[in-house]
Structure 1
Amino acid sequence: MNMTSAMNTFPPELLIQIFAIQPPQSIQSQPNYTQVCSRWRSIAYTSPELWTTLTIELLPALKTKADAAYLEEALTSWVLRSRRNIDLTVYGPFFRQGWDRPSEVQKRLYGKVNYKIIVKFSNKWRRLITPYTWDAYNFPHSLEHFAALEELQVAVGTCPLSTSNHSTFTKAPRLFKLNLDLPMSPSFACLETLIPETVSDLTLSSDPGVFGVSEGFMRGFLQLEQLQNLTHLDFSRVGWTTPHVLPSTILPHLQELTLGGTITALGDFLGVLTLPSLRKLSLSTSRFDGNGDHGPVVGPALTDLLKRSYRDKCGLLALSLTWMLARDINSGQAITLEALCHILSAASTITELHIHSEGHTDTARLMEILRYDGRSPEKQILPHLKSFSAESLSDLDQGYFLDFIFSRWWPDGSQPVVGVSKLEKLILSSCTLTEKTREQLDTCYNEAREDMAAGSYIWVSSGCPLYGE
């Protein structure tokens, strides 16, 4: 049997066990291979497909220059063993296991080894996730060429007083996915040289302790020419609390938008976007943003965005709302259920809907909105819904929840409801259900198992999270 080709069919969980090692106490000591690993080692060394993902982390055993030299040699040997491009993740200078902190000597040795490896094999990296202690303005200039680089995650760092007019990543012709970790007070001008024209998938993230970018940053950001090339945008923290006017922006190719922040900022941002190619939208707000003074402004802004973006027919296929419908003492409501009704009416093409709601949500009204009434198909919402997932919804213990399910799902062989797609996937997490509802869902699940062979099924997650036990 060809062991190398057969290994391609092994699940990652099994490969991890086969090739697991116990790190030695000293860098220069031989690793302690498991009994299984000792039998497979020769196969591993001659199987290039196994050497495509490398993770480097600081180990307590790294203490001297000799240790660092040995580690660099071992990493070099690892990279040279691979005949393919490599996904490299470099953790920051800390111990991932244990509470001990590395010494300054260990941090310095670790940083030098990482720097040498990244620079030496810059043409081998397909995906590169750099330590949070490095920033985009320092290390890229030392690289000869990012010939294979497609995905990069790097901290923006402190913007220099003067920035050049050319892109920092001109030597990365294949770079299409970029994740920039923003500092505490970012400047949009710095991003202009950090986002090459080849990037179509952009993520702007920041430390959880950062409240969010200002409206001044957003005003400049929306005018960057590079945004016109984006198909995916993930902006996790927009954080102002006073309404502001932003420049109207058309992103003609954007297909997927993930946006999180305060209620006011989300409303302002969505209120100026036109996204004619949008297919997937994910919105989230903090439960504790204390931003309820300006009302649920996200709902009307999103409705207007949909009407503005699609001339003939809405193209949105997936919608995810996290903490957008809830209302409690710590935060206002971003989208009312009546506004949700208008949104879903405008986006009748949606096939996937996810709702995560903590705090008070009128679940009865929500299920009433989502329930399909076959007697009036012309008035129905989401006729093509095939996947529905809910998380942390309370009071799913009354008839309206089962009415929603049975109005959108039926076992094969029964008469289909005219004008509505069959619900194929149902996922519930951290939702409290009564015993009666559990029994009904179990019945649906058992019927669905019998129908799977026919290609039609309903998937109900089970276990402790489902029943809120």
Structure 2
Amino acid sequence: MALTGAFVRAALLEQTERTRHCSKADIEQFIEESELKILALESQINALMELRDSQRACVLALKHIVSPIRTLPVELLVEIFELAIEDRTHIDDVHRISQVCSDWRQAAHGTPRLWTRTLRVKLCKGDEVDGLKAWLARSAPLPIRISFPPESGDIDVNILVEVLRVATRWRSLKLGCTLPRWLVRQLSKCRLNSLEDLDLEIIHDNETNSIPISFTTVPRLRKLIINLIDFPAAPQPLVPWVQLTDLTISNRDHDVIFGILAQCANLIAASVTTGGRQLPQVRRDIVILSQLHTLSLLFECRYSVARHITPFFDNLSTPVLRSLCVKFDDRAQWTQAHFTAFQLRAQCNITQLEFARTNWYIARDPLLTSDDLGAIIRYAPSLTHLKLTGCGNAFDDAFIRTLYANYKDGVAPLVPHLHNLVLGSRSRTFSDDILAGMIASRWWTDTQLVPPTVARWTHVKLDIGRNYWSTQFVDILKDIPSDVLVLS
């Protein structure tokens, strides 16, 4: 304890009174005796402090023993570990967890699933072999996900050997676009009995007569992401297309796209990125994907050339399609007749539709008109979700009136099952009162008589440029909860 001024003054007064009649020798003797007492007291204090610290350590140890975290079953503790590990930092996270204490380390090392998230393996002397070997051993015997990033240097054979040693456990494999072709061929020859997902790009080399890469002995392969670079010298890989249920493919040549889709009879979900090149006017067999439920199309019209994208739909039939997303850039052109025929071949079963312009911040003529949108929903009687991004010019008063839920001249309202609407646009081509009236016509409270004609809104999001709404608009829609009607 530090000596305060008041404490010193009080001691000075006390000792002055005590030694008033003492000689200097007596005072010096008092000082010596007091210093000895101080040493004795400090010794006792040190002993007491050591005893106190010892007792504190005992208390902390006992609290640790009875703490809730130590009473948790190992299974529950591992679940907490898994929730604390993030995909982006999973390597650091799992190592940090295993260094907290010996119990946690034992639990982490004894739980293979904590070590099975995507492992990015750098083959060009970027990884420590011993650390990689330990990681792979801790994940056994579960399937693992492996990613080989693009490489430009010499391959470290020791790292490659360790990874190939567990090839039978690869569940997911991603190959960087600059890996040498000989390496990809070596990987494809492995026993990939557990492989379900494959992410593959054509390799950037100058081989003009190279043998195609063959991933044919993959009995469990179901999902493929493949970027077919537009180099005619690069042969297409050999893949068991008929096994696939999920395909993501990129190539600007429609012939290549349809040639592959024709082999994928069991697709359930597909995502296609292609150019807007119009197909030659020759008769082609329509590709029928009889099990396809989800389709996403991205049209990229390169070199600032306007292209019609809807002829793509002439060669495609999807009778059980439920979800369709069409994205396009500002150079795409639309012909409604092609898309209407496609909708009819889909037997009007589509429930989710999305149209998005990828660069809608550029001022250009609209791809879709109000009449186009009206025709689209007219042939989508099962529609429940509609999302329009960058199609604001088509979302005008005329189109909005087609969505009114009221009977008119004995005609039932269109899209009676629609309950989710998302609109993103930088321009307003509609009147607030027209839009508010349409939204209100498809809403009612629980205390009101439920109209039998249409579904009630579950989500309406309006992200509009010049984001302000008239008093009339707000007043008409005041009864709709803010979690249903989102004005952002």
TM-score normalised by the shorter chain: which range applies?
A: 0.7 to 0.9
Matches within 5 A, 1:57-136: 68=127, 71-82=128-139, 83-93=141-151, 107-109=153-155, 112=157, 115-134=160-179
2:219 to 173, 178, 192: 173
- Counterpart CA distance in 2 for 1:441 and 1:89 is 50
Q: Compare 320-329 and 274-283 and name the one that shifted more.
A: 320-329
Shift of 1:187: 7.6
Instruction: List aligned pairs for 1:353-372, cutoff 5 A.
Output: 353-357=386-390, 360-372=393-405
Report how far residue 77 of structure 1 moved: 1.4
Distance in 1, Cα, partners of 2:182 & 2:261: 19
Q: Aligned residues: percent identity?
A: 20
SS at 1:228's partner residue? coil
Q: Match of 1:346?
A: 379
- Give yes or no for contact 1:4–1:47 (8 Å, CA) kept in 2: no
Q: Which residue of 2 aligns with 1:248?
A: 285
Q: Which has the larger radius of gyration?
A: 2
Other structure's SS at 1:284 match: strand
Structure 1 segment 207-356 matched on structure 2, within 5 A: 213-218=252-257, 221-222=258-259, 225-240=262-277, 244-245=281-282, 247-249=284-286, 250-261=288-299, 262=301, 264=307, 266-287=309-330, 289=331, 291-292=332-333, 296-297=334-335, 299-310=336-347, 314-323=348-357, 330=364, 332-356=365-389
Q: CA deviation at 1:139?
A: 1.8
Asked if 2 retains the 8 angstrom alpha-carbon contact of 1:409 and 1:422, the reply is yes
The structural deviation recorded for 1:347 is 1.2
Q: Matches of 1:371 and 1:114 in 2, distance apart?
A: 64
Contact in 2 for aligned 1:90/1:130 (Cα 8 Å): yes
1:406 corresponds, among 435, 440, 448, to: 440
Which whole-Å deviations, capped at 9, do the CAs of 1:33-60 have from their partners, x for residues lacking one? 48995684443222223222133265xx
- C-alpha distance in 2, partners of 1:376/1:112? 77
Whole-Å separation in 2 of the counterparts to 1:265 and 1:217: 18
Shift of 1:230: 2.1
Deviation track 1:296-346 (CA, whole Å, cap 9, x = no partner) reads: 31x221111122342xxx21121111129979754x543322122122111
Deviations 1:263-306 (A, max 9, x none): 7452111022222121111111112x2x55xxx31x22111112
1:150 to 185, 196, 206: 196
Q: CA RMSD for the aligned pairs?
A: 3.8
2:355 alignment partner, SS class: strand
Q: Structure 1's 189 and 89: CA in aligned 2 closer, same or farther, altered over 3 A?
A: closer
- CA distance in structure 1 between the partners assigned to 2:73 and 2:350 by the alignment: 46
User: Contact (CA 8 Å) 2:442, 2:456: kept in 1 or not?
Assistant: yes
Mapped pair 1:48 → 2:112: yes
Give the gaps of 5 or more residues in structure 2: 1-70
Pick one of 246, 253, 260 that aligns with 1:201: 246
Q: Is the 8 A contact 2:177 2:202 kept in 1?
A: no
Shift, 1:369, TM fit: 2.9
How far the C-alpha of 1:441 sits from its partner, in A, is 6.5
Show structure 1 runs of 4+ deviating over 6 A. 19-23, 324-328, 438-442
Alignment of 1:366-385 (within 5 A): 366-374=399-407, 378-385=411-418
Would the aligned equivalents of 2:243 and 2:264 in 1 still touch at CA under 8 Å? no
* Residues 87-134 of structure 1 deviation map (CA, whole Å, 9 limit, x = unaligned): 2333334xxxxxxxxxx6xx435x656643442211112122222223
Quick one: higher RCO (CA 8 Å, sep 6+), 1 or 2?
1
Match of 1:27 in 2: none
* Cα pair distance change 1:13/1:394, threshold 3 Å: farther
Of the three residues 437, 442, 445, the one matched with 2:481 is 445
1:235 Cα offset (Å): 0.8
Q: SS of 1:144's equivalent?
A: coil
Partner of 1:161: 209
Offset of residue 21 of structure 1: 7.3
Task: Output the CA distance in 1 between the equivalents of 2:273 and 2:411.
Answer: 37
- The separation in 1 between residues aligned to 2:179 and 2:326, in whole angstroms, is 30
Alpha-carbon separation, structure 2, partners of 1:51 and 1:35? 12
**What's the offset of the Cα at 1:173?**
0.3
CA contact (8 A) 1:280 1:319 kept: yes
Q: 1:186 to 1:363 in 2, by over 3 A?
A: farther
| CA distance 1:223–1:41, change in 2 (3 Å) | closer
**Paired position in structure 1 for 2:419:** 386
The structural deviation recorded for 1:216 is 4.6
The separation in 1 between residues aligned to 2:233 and 2:272, in whole angstroms, is 15
Maintained 8 Å contact 1:257/1:278: yes
